[in-house]
Amino acid sequence: MTITEHADKPLYRVLCVDDEQNILRAIKRALFTLKIELILVDSGEAALEVMAQKPVHVIISDMKMPGMTGAELLAEVANTSADTYRVLLTGFADIDSTIKAVNHGRIHRYLQKPWDNQELINTIEEGLERVKLKDENARLQKLTQRQNNKLKEINSNLEKTIQKRTRQIRAALQRIELRNNALEQVLFNVISINPDVDGKFAIEVSELTKKLATQAGFNQEDIRLFTYASLIGELGLLGLKPEAFRPPFAKLTYQQQKDYLSQTTLAKTILAPAVHMQPIADIIEFQFEHYNGSGLFKKVANEIPTGARIHAISRDYWRLVSGRMTGHKMPPLEAKAELKKYTNSRYDGAYLDLLLSNSDIDKPQFIDDHIGTNALTPGLVLGNNLYNENHILLLPAGHEFTAATIGKLKQYERDHKRTFEILIEKQTDDEEEDGEDNTE
């Protein structure tokens, strides 16, 4: 008898084998919350028939069954499907044969009857995680090969791309110090002209890293190194699909977050041919390490390049302020408070204190400052044309807000269930002084 339980488009398949129907029903009840394809069979022979037709990622078998025992079944599975995670359900009386099966490498885990449901779930999730890691490793190997091919294509078409984007590249280069060699310039140009990667964000992160490193007393060469690593810190995103990094990080699925973090491996691959850029590659590769050793590669503080520790603070500060982390823009003070929660856990406290203690160090230079309608006051001037969702002009750039127009915008938001992000034209020093004079 075979029973298949379908979750919503399950990615992984779990096969449970027991000759007692009440045991199978108990397993089915215990695992109903897992998003898996659950297959229940009542014999080892039936299990092998299922596995001959489709791949199984985790198999759980009772030890004592008529005909083929659980140990014999899992030994056969080990020979024919080595990547399948194998779990044996056993009673106390079977412990000797169970230990023998473990020692011979036929099973990965065993659970004693009666089992604890949470332990059963944890065991399956452990097996699935092992399978997922193998799948991810294979995927990354293929992706790395594709990126190598893409890099060759980028290099071959780079001259044409630079000619087409001369104005954009010149504008970008005017916002950074031209102290890098030709290869470094090319890499940032490739990033800045990509419509899916924000060059302005990269510049803000780079500038904040430069200020933090300067305050920390590093020499000019180290500051240049750290600053440039921050500038191309998102180089690996060029190898990912836009949907893996366009949404805020907190709104990505677990798999999309893993894909997003894989950018560091891709960046290392891209920079591998440039031996002289190895220190920059190390900073980018280890930028998601946590100061306390709980990060992507579990590196402890003295194993994480100093530039990576400073870059992580600059990067996450601007991710919070710009809304790239959570989906909503945080005021600077709120963003700093959020970072402070992770002093000496995610972030190196010595460098984080430099950000927290200086009120001017994080002033934006290139990222536009947008506000909501609740922050509008009469007299503010609109910086860009304001359109509705149908691209119809509501207010032109240069409009000076009044209480009436602010009220109309708020009413529009309520009626259409949407919010505006409004760019305000920055006042010059003279305009601010004039405004102060007018109030006297």
* 46-55, 79-88, 196-205: the lowest-pLDDT one: 196-205
pLDDT given at position 188: 75
Burial (Cβ within 10 Å: 0-12, 13-18, ≥19) of residue 17? buried
- Is pLDDT at 427 greater than 90 in this prediction? no
In order of 372, 388, 401, 419, 426, the CA distances from 409 in angstroms are: 10, 10, 10, 9, 21
More confident residue, 170 or 51: 51
Taking residues 93-99, report their average pLDDT: 73
- Is pLDDT at 284 greater than 60 in this prediction? yes
Whether 5 and 37 have beta carbons less than 8 Å apart is answered as yes
State the angle between helix axes of 278-285 and 263-271 in degrees (0 to 180), rounded to the nearest 10: 170
- Is pLDDT at 393 greater than 80 in this prediction? no
Other C-beta atoms lying within 10 Å of the C-beta of residue 415: 8
Whether 193 and 168 have beta carbons less than 8 Å apart is answered as yes
pLDDT given at position 162: 60
- Is pLDDT at 432 greater than 80 in this prediction? no
**What letter does residue 16 receive in the DSSP assignment?**
E
**Phi then psi dihedrals of residue 77, to 5 deg:** -65, -40
- Is pLDDT at 301 greater than 90 in this prediction? no
Q: For residue 383, give both structure tokens.
A: 């910086």
Domains of the chain (ranges, CATH numbers): 2-130 (3.40.50.2300), 169-356 (1.10.3210.10), 370-439 (3.90.105)
Kindly report, residue by residue over 41-82, the tens digit of the pLDDT.
999 999 999 999 999 999 999 988 998 989 899 999 999 998
Query: In 3D, which of 431, 398, 394, 430 has the Cα closest to residue 415?
Result: 394
Reported pTM: 0.46
- Is pLDDT at 360 greater than 90 in this prediction? no
Whether 104 and 74 have beta carbons less than 8 Å apart is answered as no
Taking residues 281-288, report their average pLDDT: 94
